[in-house]
């Protein structure tokens, strides 16, 4: 059980665990601010989110970010279980290409060439999340790994260029 400090200053045991902590976080931030943080889409873009219901409360999660979180988790689990047998997942060309579908889908949407859908957003996000996890493992062991820095710079420049061409607002 988790001990938490209640709003009246007293402490007590939270019998609902993580859901209770989530409720407190939502209540403290206010539903609009909390939803903006985890969904980061305006109401007009809610078709790019998924709704999770917790009793009478619900929150929206960005579909691509949800995929990224799952990809990170899957990579961490595979590293723990598979260890060195998964060296092929650490290959530089593969790590460079894993985020590409997410960036391509997002870019085509920004240019209004493609609308995409939540399935594509989720899968491309999961691939991107896998790359994030493996990049972090490499970064922790060598913060000056050229492949990581070059890949990050390439994607940063690509996203920056798309934002420059399409405008930051839309």
Average pLDDT on 83-106 reads: 83
DSSP alpha helices (H): ranges in 59-117?
63-82, 92-97, 100-110
d(CA 71, CA 50): 17
What pLDDT is recorded for position 164?
93
What pLDDT is recorded for position 10?
47
* pLDDT surpasses 90 at 163: yes
Which pTM was predicted? 0.75
> Which pLDDT band holds residue 3 (cuts at 50, 70, 90)?
very low
> Which pLDDT band holds residue 85 (cuts at 50, 70, 90)?
low
* Cα separations in angstroms, 69 against 14, 59, 61, 62, 139: 26, 16, 11, 10, 18
């Amino acid at each position: 059980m988790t001990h938490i400090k209640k709003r009246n200053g007293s402490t007590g045991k939270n019998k609902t665990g993580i859901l209770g902590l989530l409720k407190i976080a939502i209540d403290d931030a206010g539903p609009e601010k909390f939803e903006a943080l985890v969904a980061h889409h305006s109401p007009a873009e809610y078709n790019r989110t998924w709704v999770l219901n917790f009793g009478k409360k619900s929150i929206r999660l960005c579909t691509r970010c949800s995929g990224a979180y799952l990809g990170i988790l899957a990579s961490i689990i595979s590293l723990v279980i598979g260890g060195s047998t998964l060296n092929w997942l650490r290959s530089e060309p593969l790590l460079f290409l894993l985020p590409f579908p997410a960036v391509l889908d997002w870019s085509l949407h920004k240019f209004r060439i493609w609308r995409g859908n939540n399935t594509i957003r989720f899968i491309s996000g999961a691939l991107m999340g896998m790359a994030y996890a493996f990049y972090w493992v490499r970064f922790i062991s060598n913060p000056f790994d050229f492949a990581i820095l070059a890949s990050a710079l390439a994607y940063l420049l690509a996203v920056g260029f798309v934002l420059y061409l399409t405008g930051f607002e839309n």
